[in-house]
Structure 1
């Protein structure tokens, strides 16, 4: 069986904030179609590494490749154009827009008509807008909230707002979907629905990078995991390997796991 191509390959990432060394020689390799998890105790550097990958923080050192091509994590919008879409720990929707409009905003990163087309509304611009609207509806249906397309997003339930954020990220046609604690604040039913959605996304051939504190969910869902502690990788491998790794048990999982 042929090995899946590498989607994300990052090496030698270091990041310092003043006197704090937040990341030390961190690297990651993710294959197409994987759900890859980052775990570790609070303050381990997971979100810092996430923010470096997605352009919110500038690394002090590091090499970055997406689908075999170098990319520069210089700014979030440039990273989005390169093919990485992300969500945040805290929900960041346009609260007064409808669910459909929120997803359409995400889709506009792939728009070809630009400001001129938006102003003058020529035929090509109108056709593209209709295509964006149709794709946005498809994605709402895919994540399970299609019936709420015209509902103002701030009136959606918490779990549905999380789904909407994922739909908006998918609207950019990413090569890598980066999700920062998508299950935060969810109840057990919502977490189960999220897990099923992530499996659907994987079955569509998408690649997912996931931070999540629910260790049980991560072990069941992820193809591979990396564990960070104090900004350094202490283990990487299959879930079963991580569960039996003494360094991980001592640093993070504990005897009860």
Structure 2
């Protein structure tokens, strides 16, 4: 997997949210996107995942032009995301939530679902088995029958990741997955993201927890006022004077991986 993003611009009225943003994400990496509030991180996420239409820019995914338009087309192209605010189906079970994510890869159409054909029933069984395996992967199998709203906050975050993984993404885009987590939940999250990377998945990560992101990411880009001010490995980025001034503060260069 390789995603190349070049010259992305996005304005909202007179506000330039993104200005000539470029980055390149390669397979098997956790790529961090950091910066102060209002830097344009989520705007870039929304452009990449089809929620916003860019004013300019080119996107190349695995050597082919990629047009982030409708959200379902983005999922079929191989990019799945989570959001800052949890967006699970609260009244559905954990298993059902993951099954919903899997349906982007189904073969049977509406007619098969209405007629309950043999092929449709077989595929539904396969989807359920796949969803159970993903719940096991994120260590939530015992909660398969729980309604999503009754899960703990940390478990809901993990369930969102499982639902995103159900689309078999080339790129898993996570928007502040550690937001609101306690220290124990953050440790569990870090272990899960490392596991996903070690299994060959590629992750694009927005995260405000500097210690977490510096310890997880292979490379990162720092945005400020919609512009790229630094790109590199964490050890380089945290020592960059522009990054320290804009985001990390006076003690930022001392932030160590852990």
Judge same fold: TM > 0.5, yes or no: yes
Match of 1:242 in 2: 237
Q: CA-to-partner distance for each residue in 1:217-253, whole Å, 9 max, x for gaps? A: 0000000010000000000000000011111111111
Secondary structure of the corresponding residue to residue 211 of structure 2? helix
Match of 1:189 in 2: 184
Separation in 1 of the partners of 2:124 and 2:110? Answer: 13
Matched, 1:174 2:169: yes
Match of 1:72 in 2: 67
Structure 2 length-normalised TM: 0.96
Secondary structure of the corresponding residue to residue 73 of structure 1? coil
Matches within 5 A, 1:106-117: 106-117=101-112
Match of 2:156 in 1: 161
Of 41, 46, 49, the match for 1:46: 41
Separation in 2 of the partners of 1:114 and 1:192? Answer: 41
Matches within 5 A, 1:9-158: 9-158=4-153
Separation in 2 of the partners of 1:24 and 1:242? Answer: 20
Contact 1:176 1:209 in 2 (8 A): yes
Contact 1:45 1:230 in 2 (8 A): yes
Structure 1: gaps spanning 5 or more residues: 1-5
Contact 1:86 1:178 in 2 (8 A): yes
> Which is further off, 214-223 or 74-83?
74-83
Structure 1 length-normalised TM: 0.97
Contact 1:7 1:176 in 2 (8 A): no
Secondary structure of the corresponding residue to residue 26 of structure 1? strand
Separation in 2 of the partners of 1:94 and 1:217? Answer: 28
Secondary structure of the corresponding residue to residue 233 of structure 1? strand
Match of 1:3 in 2: none
Contact 1:84 1:178 in 2 (8 A): yes
Secondary structure of the corresponding residue to residue 12 of structure 1? strand
Kindly state the Cα deviation for residue 190 of structure 1 after the two structures are TM-superposed: 0.3
- 4+ residue stretches of structure 1 with deviation over 4 A? none
Kindly state the Cα deviation for residue 157 of structure 1 after the two structures are TM-superposed: 0.3
Structure 2: gaps spanning 5 or more residues: 253-258
Q: CA-to-partner distance for each residue in 1:128-161, whole Å, 9 max, x for gaps? A: 1111000000000000111000111110000000
